[in-house]
């Protein structure tokens, strides 16, 4: 993100610059309830169908849903579903937002390593996302069969995830419960939290969703851009 897009231009620290906010109204968000928008600015690292319960972090490097999301109640929903890996580069806008209207009643924190999540590391370190510190956030909505889950993954220099609806910062110093109860409600586009540097968010959706036109590996996307659609005429 260019600094010209930031709400303010003067920062007291490098960390404040990394977690800068956008100017109000800069990213229009569609109100179509069938469209899932991108939660963040990112490069699409990988995307496609979940092959049964197998997901690919990079070509030739698969992992099992249960290894990334240990909760069986959540991970079974994405069997043969779709996924997209969103890589936030250090120069990008670091905050992430709700991709749909939703409620969140729990965040599951999984402590782990802080491997770099750049493309080179993803091709060399097997099941890297399953080894790194991460959180699992199921987004509750009004659709009985549609389900979306976000998995923010921490990385080197970024072992910290801050959620606006939790008092605690989730990092390697955190010593609280792994399952953190909460009661948060979001409209599509509302800010959910931020990383303190670049990192990754993996979004999972049920099999009734399809990728919107132009969403493919290597594509640069913006927060609020249409990502998935439940429309039958999606491309």
Report CA-CA distances (Å) from 192 to 37, 56, 61, 232. Answer: 14, 26, 30, 29
Sign of the C-alpha dihedral computed for residues 123, 157, 166 and 92 taken in this order: negative
Residue 91 has pLDDT above 70, yes or no: yes
Mean pLDDT (whole number) for 28-33: 89
pLDDT band at 155 (very low <50, low <70, confident <90, very high): confident
Write down the mean pLDDT value for the chain.
86
Which residue, 84, 70, 78, is CA-closest to 54? 78
233 pLDDT more than 60: no
pLDDT, average across residues 51-59: 91
Output the CA torsion 173→176→178→180 (10° steps): -120
79 pLDDT more than 80: yes
pLDDT score at 215: 95
- pTM listed for this prediction: 0.88
Question: Measured between alpha carbons, how far is 232 from 184 in angstroms, rounded to an integer?
Answer: 31
Distance separating alpha carbons of residues 15 and 17, to the nearest angstrom: 5
Tell me the average pLDDT across 84-103.
89
Q: What pLDDT does residue 232 have?
A: 45
Helix (H, G, I), strand (E, B) or coil at 102: strand
The percentage of residues in the chain with a pLDDT greater than 90, rounded to a whole number, is 58
Q: Is 156 within 8 Å of 125 (Cβ atoms)?
A: no
In percent, the amount of the chain with pLDDT more than 70 equals 84
Active site residues: 41, 97, 199
Give residue for tokens 């960390």.
15
Tokens for 69, please give them: 């999301």
Q: Would you call 172 helix, strand, or coil by DSSP?
A: coil
Distance of alpha carbon 88 from alpha carbon 194, whole angstroms: 11
- Highest mean pLDDT range out of 15-19, 22-26, 34-38, 193-197? 34-38
Write out pLDDT tens, residues 124-150. 889 999 999 899 999 998 776 789 999
For residue 6, pLDDT over 80 is answered with no
Q: Give the range with max mean pLDDT: 22-26, 28-32, 117-121, 186-190.
A: 186-190
């Amino acid at each position: 993100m260019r600094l010209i897009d930031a709400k303010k231009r003067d920062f007291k620290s490098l960390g404040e610059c990394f977690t800068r906010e956008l100017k109000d109204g800069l990213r229009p968000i569609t109100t179509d309830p069938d469209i899932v928008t991108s939660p963040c600015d990112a490069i699409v690292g990988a995307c496609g169908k979940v092959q049964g319960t197998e997901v690919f972090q990079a070509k030739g490097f698969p992992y099992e849903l249960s290894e990334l999301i240990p909760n069986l109640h959540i991970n079974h929903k994405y069997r043969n579903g779709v996924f997209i890996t969103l890589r936030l580069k250090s120069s990008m806008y670091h905050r992430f937002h709700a991709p749909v209207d939703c409620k969140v009643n729990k965040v599951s924190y999984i402590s782990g390593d802080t491997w770099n999540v750049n493309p080179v590391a993803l091709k060399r370190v097997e099941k890297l996302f399953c080894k790194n510190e991460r959180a699992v956030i199921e987004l509750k909505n009004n659709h009985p069969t549609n389900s979306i889950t976000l998995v923010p993954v921490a990385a080197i220099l970024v072992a910290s995830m801050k959620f606006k609806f939790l008092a605690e910062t989730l990092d390697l110093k955190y010593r609280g419960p792994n399952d953190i109860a909460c009661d948060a409600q979001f409209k599509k586009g509302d800010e959910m939290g931020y990383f303190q540097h670049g990192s990754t968010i993996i979004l999972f959706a049920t099999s009734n969703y399809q990728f919107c036109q132009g969403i493919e590996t290597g594509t640069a996307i913006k927060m609020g851009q249409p990502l998935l659609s439940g429309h039958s005429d999606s491309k």
